[in-house]
Structure formats: structure tokens, C-alpha cells
């Protein structure tokens, strides 16, 4: 084990469920460890009356629960809620507490669509692809509504949505999103991501047709196909049937379907 932390406060008999990623936490240290590493995920789905009640009933942190209940009664920021918990436990040292405080301040200063994009990135990292897609799409709508960003952020968001669809083997959606990303970003990287998605869905003939329609030189498609051939082949699982069962379970867990 590369990192070990001793709990200073009792463990809960019943865990607090961080529903967005399906994570149960049993101690305040586990909660703060999660908060420290997932700041973009901290919102009302986590910082709410249920959490305050859990701290009070399961961990018997009555003074902290009273303070947090007062925070919830006003228009509070994430920092207003989170920092009292860190300071109550002195987790794990003052240097870390100051760093988290600074990161929360920086997060507050970011435009809303950027914060939503980072939230989607976290969800993607945990394999919550449908939630990530919904968050990315909401970020695009927020950016368009407030005119807070140009095509660059929207292009990145469409690329990320496409990547999430790829993880779900939804090829039509993948190609559509990557094309939108390319039209907005107009970069070689975005172009190649779109063409590679077309190759995965339609093969070499479909790639050639898409490139011709977009006025893209044949040398680009040849390079895309060369890179595709050079990709390492996945290893065959030792137990194919168990591998399939595990993949199906992971799909249902990560999509809720």
C-alpha cells in the first residue's frame, strides 16, 4: 500500500452514499479524501442535509452538523460547506487544508461551463459515461445561453461526449460528436479524431468517402489507416465467459441501464 491514513473519528455503521459515482464512505476521513481529489464533483447532490444528518447520527459530530445546518440555510458556496469539515478534523495537515482552500477559491472563479466540464471529466474518469454525457451537454447549453465561451470550449465538449459514446460502443453518436468537434475546433487533431471514428464505423471505403466530401487530402486518410493498423491488439481474456459477465455488469453499473 502506497498511502495509509489512520481514522481519528469513528467509522459509521451505515455509509454515506456518494450517488453520482456509486461510492460508499464510512468515515469523515474517507469523505474528505474524496473531496480533496474530486473538487469538481462537489455540489448539492453531496453537500446537503443528508450528509449533515449522516455526520450527526453516524459519526456523532454534533457540533459540526449544527454549523453545517446553518450554512445550508443561506446562499452558500462549496467552500463555505467544505472547509469547516476539513478544519474540524484537521485533515490530514494544515498544508493540505490550505491547498484545498486555494483550489476551492480558484474553482469559484471559473466560468460555470468550465466547472461543468470538469465535473463531466471526473464522472468520465469514474466510468459514469451517461452522467458525463449529460453534464457535458448541459455545459454546452450553459455556454451558449451565457455566451461565456467561443467555439473552443464547445468543440472540446463535443469531443469528450464522443469519447463517452465510444466507451459505450455507440458508434453513430461517436462519429456525429467528433464531426461537430472538428467543425468547431478546425484543428488537425480534431480532424483526425473524426476520421478515425468514421474508420471505426464505416471501414476504409467510408473513410475515403467522408474525407472526399470534406475536401481532405488522401494522404491524411492513408496516415489514419496506418496508425489504426499499428494499434496494439487487445489481449484475449483467459476466461472469455467471465470476461463477458464482468463487462456486462460494468456496463449496467456505469450506465444505470
Same domain, 104 and 117: no
Whole-angstrom Cα distance, residue 197 to residue 218? 16
Contact 7, 16 (CB under 8 A): no
User: Of 92, 109, 126, which closes a domain?
Assistant: 109
pLDDT interval class at 9 (50, 70, 90): low
2, part of any domain: no
pLDDT for 256 equals 61
Residues 166 and 249 in one domain: yes
Give the structural domain span for 39. Answer: 16-109
Q: Summarize pLDDT for 93-133 with one digit per residue, the tens.
A: 999 999 999 999 999 999 999 999 999 999 999 999 999 99
Residue 7 belongs to some domain of the structure: no
pLDDT higher than 70, residue 37: yes
Query: Does residue 170 lie within any of the structural domains?
Result: yes
The C-alpha cell that represents 177 in the structure block: 460528436
In a domain, 250, yes or no: yes
Indicate whether 6 pLDDT > 60. Answer: no
State the average pLDDT for the chain: 92
Question: What pTM does this model have?
Answer: 0.89
Per-residue confidence (pLDDT) for residue 5, from 0 to 100: 47
Residue 8 pLDDT more than 60? no
Is 162 part of any domain?
A: yes
The domain boundary residue, chosen from 84, 109, 134? 109
Helix axis angle for 62-72 and 78-89, nearest 10°, is 170
Q: Which whole-number Å values give the CA distances from 76 to 32, 43, 110, 111, in the listed order? A: 19, 11, 17, 17
Number of domains making up the chain: 2
Query: Do 136 and 82 belong to one domain?
Result: no
Q: Are 251 and 130 in the same domain?
A: yes
199-212 mean pLDDT: 97
Averaged pLDDT, 36-57: 97
Both 118 and 217 in one domain: the answer is yes
Clarify whether residues 93 and 132 are in a common domain: no
Return the pLDDT at 97.
Answer: 97
**Local confidence band at 190 (pLDDT 50, 70, 90 cut-offs):** very high
Task: List, for residues 133-158, the tens digit of each pLDDT value.
Answer: 999 999 999 998 877 667 899 999 99
86 and 122 belong to one structural domain: no
| One domain, residues 152 and 249 | yes
In-domain check, residue 160: yes
* Per-residue pLDDT at 149: 66
Q: Say if residue 80 is in the same domain as residue 168.
A: no
Domain containing residue 161: CATH number: 1.25.40.10
In this structure, the answer to whether residues 119 and 84 fall within a common structural domain is: no
DSSP per position, the chain: -------SSPPPSSPEEETTTTEEE-SHHHHHHHHHH-GGG-STTTSSHHHHHHHHHTT--HHHHHHHHHHHTS---HHHHHHHHHHHHT-S-HHHHHHHHHHHHHHHHS-HHHHHHHHHHHHHHTT-HHHHHHHHHHHHHHHHHHT-S-HHHHHHHHHHHHHHHHHTT-HHHHHHHHHHHHHHH--HHHHHHHHHHHHHHHHHHHHHHHHHHTT--HHHHHHHHHHHHHSPPPPPPSSHHHHHHHHHHHHHHHH--
pLDDT band at 243 (very low <50, low <70, confident <90, very high): confident
pLDDT at 234: 79
Least confident range of 72-81, 196-205, 218-227, 237-246: 237-246
- pLDDT higher than 90, residue 235: no
Amino acid at each position: 500500500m502506497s498511502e495509509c491514513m489512520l481514522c481519528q473519528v469513528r467509522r459509521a455503521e451505515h455509509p454515506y452514499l456518494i450517488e453520482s459515482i456509486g461510492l460508499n464512505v464510512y468515515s469523515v476521513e474517507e469523505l474528505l479524501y474524496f473531496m480533496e481529489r474530486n473538487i469538481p464533483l462537489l455540489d448539492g447532490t453531496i453537500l446537503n442535509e443528508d450528509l449533515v444528518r449522516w455526520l450527526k447520527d453516524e459519526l456523532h459530530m454534533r457540533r459540526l452538523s449544527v454549523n453545517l445546518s446553518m450554512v445550508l440555510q443561506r446562499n452558500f458556496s462549496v467552500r463555505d460547506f467544505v472547509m469547516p469539515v476539513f478544519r474540524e478534523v484537521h485533515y490530514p495537515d494544515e498544508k493540505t487544508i490550505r491547498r484545498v482552500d486555494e483550489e476551492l477559491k480558484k474553482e469559484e472563479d471559473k466560468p460555470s461551463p468550465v466547472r461543468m466540464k470538469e465535473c463531466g471529466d471526473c464522472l468520465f474518469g469514474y466510468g459514469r459515461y451517461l452522467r458525463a454525457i449529460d453534464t457535458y451537454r448541459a455545459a454546452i447549453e450553459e455556454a451558449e445561453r451565457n455566451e461565456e465561451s467561443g467555439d473552443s470550449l464547445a468543440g472540446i465538449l463535443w469531443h469528450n461526449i464522443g469519447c463517452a459514446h465510444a466507451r459505450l460502443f455507440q458508434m453513430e453518436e461517436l462519429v456525429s460528436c467528433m464531426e461537430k468537434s472538428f467543425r468547431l475546433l478546425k484543428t488537425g487533431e480534431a480532424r483526425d479524431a473524426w476520421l478515425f471514428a468514421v474508420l471505426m464505423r464505416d471501414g476504409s471505403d467510408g473513410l475515403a468517402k467522408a474525407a472526399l466530401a470534406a475536401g481532405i487530402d488522401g494522404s491524411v486518410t492513408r496516415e489514419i489507416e496506418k496508425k489504426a493498423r499499428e494499434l496494439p491488439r487487445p489481449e484475449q481474456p483467459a476466461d472469455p465467459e467471465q470476461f463477458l459477465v464482468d463487462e456486462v455488469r460494468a456496463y449496467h453499473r456505469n450506465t444505470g441501464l
